[in-house]
Amino acid sequence: MSKNTPKAIRGTQDIFGPDAESFAFVVETFERVRKLYRFRRAEMPVFEKTEVFSRAIGETTDVVSKEMYSFEDRSETSLTLRPEFTAGIARAYLTNGWQQHAPLKLATHGPLFRYERPQKGRYRQFHQIDAEILGAGEPQADVELLAMADQLLKELGIEGVTLHLNTLGDAESRDAWRAGLIEYFSAVEGELSEDSQERLHKNPLRILDSKDPRDQAFVADAPKIDAYLSDEALAFFESVTRGLDAAGVKWKRAESLVRGLDYYRHTAFEFIPDEGSAAADALGSQSTVLGGGRYDGLMESLGGPSTPAVGWAAGIERLAMLVGERSPEPLEAMVLLEDDAGLTKATQLLSDLRKAGFVSDMIASGSKKKRYDKAVKQDPRAILRVNESGYYGYAGDAIDPALSEFLKDKV
């Protein structure tokens, strides 16, 4: 590589080969499943006014305070490359009057941007698939959304991943729990890890999923959300779990599961690889493959009317790491030009093949004596030989009967 060639931006990737096939498989499967569940497709801009994210996600979150790609455009408006889908979707819902379609089931996918240190399963430009149900406050919406996620993972052939489920309760429950946690951890502040001492003031819920053993000793006996749940919040959660059971979605209660962003209420969930599974191994230290929850307060933070909603997002790259290699479309016919004088006829044949729907390609360059080797290396089901007078025969035994029919009158 010349030193003159510009390098790709850190944390961006050029996806090609087997990885690109896996990526496409994830997206195709998502598209198929979302149609099955009647989620409607939507496309949103990749950038928004910065306040869309700062107000929706929360100023103090890591995403907003240090991970956004923000810049001023020529009219000096602060813009930001979207670090997640939900805020932009909420903005679109409000500015386009999509309330008229409520409850609205939406699906989308595309690139997101976060200024983070890249590592396995984690990039600065990454890609997610996303599903949301907007304007639906009933627990059945949560069930529907999770059932779809569960089926998607199954259809992707991903195993060893479990739905971890929790409730953060309604706003009052959550606040009371938070206060209880602060009180509990403050008493032992000096014995917590440095990170958790910091968390105690910034985001006490986060202490619960600390990986530091010094914290874990205290986490076990920390106050549980259940003790603070209002009757309504408890009933809501029970209704969600009953629905999941009815829909055949396996789940596991995760009392210390919290989500990083401020807007979550009630249901919170993550699909996480089981410890020791092949999936956990493939993902390195990135655990969550799909995550989301209910965000009833979000629309108001953007100046809209109170609008209940649930959603999830999943990292396409992370899913792609779990689906294994996708075998490419079999090459049905390789046209082999043995004499350059037959090029026109070979080109015609190739064109006819493709119009008839046969996956086909042609070898017509380089040393004539090596063309056959090149053709064989691509593992075609049939090699169609063309000399100066045109097509005259094929080689290959696993040939498609339809192709053999097609070739009958070509000689």
Where do contacts with RNA occur on this chain (CB under 7 A)? Answer: 1, 3, 7-8, 10-11, 13, 61-63, 67, 84, 114, 116-123, 126, 128, 195, 199, 203, 206, 210-212, 259-261, 270, 284-292, 313-315, 317-318, 365-367, 369-370, 372-374, 376-377, 379, 383, 385, 393, 395
Known binder of ligand: residue 47? no
Token reading at 136 = 């639906």
Residue 5 annotated as binding site: no
Q: Is 111 or 180 the residue whose CB approaches RNA more closely?
A: 111
Residue 128 marked ligand-binding: yes
Rounded to a whole number of angstroms, the minimum distance from the CB of residue 231 to RNA is 29
Which H/E stretch holds residue 48?
A: strand 47-49
Nearer to RNA, 103 or 111 (CB): 111
329 labelled binding-site residue? no
Buried b (16+ CB within 10 A) or exposed e, 106-138: bbbbeebbbebeeeebbbbbbbbbbbbbbbbbb
For residue 264, say whether it is annotated as part of any ligand binding site: yes
Which residue, 378, 353, 341, is CA-closest to 363?
378
CB of 374 to RNA, least distance (A): 6
CB of 37 to RNA, least distance (A): 19
Nearest to RNA of 68, 104 (CB atom)? 68
Residue 232 is assigned to a ligand binding site: no
Pick from 295, 314, 302, 260: nearest CA to 134: 295
CB of 172 to RNA, least distance (A): 22
Q: Which is nearer to RNA, 105 or 259 (CB)?
A: 259
Residue 75 zone, left/alpha/beta (φ > 0; ψ -120 to 50; rest) = alpha
* In contact, 86 and 313? CB cutoff 8 Å: yes
Task: Please give the angle made by the CA atoms of 153, 64 and 120, to the nearest 5 degrees.
Answer: 45
84 is in an annotated binding site: yes
Shortest Å, Cβ 72 to RNA = 20
Residues 6+ apart with CB under 8 A from 360: 331, 332, 333, 334, 335, 350, 353, 354
Residue with tokens 């979207």: 82
Residue positions in the annotated binding site for L-histidine?
Answer: 84-86, 114, 128, 132, 259, 263-264
Residue positions in the annotated binding site?
Answer: 84-86, 114, 128, 132, 259, 263-264
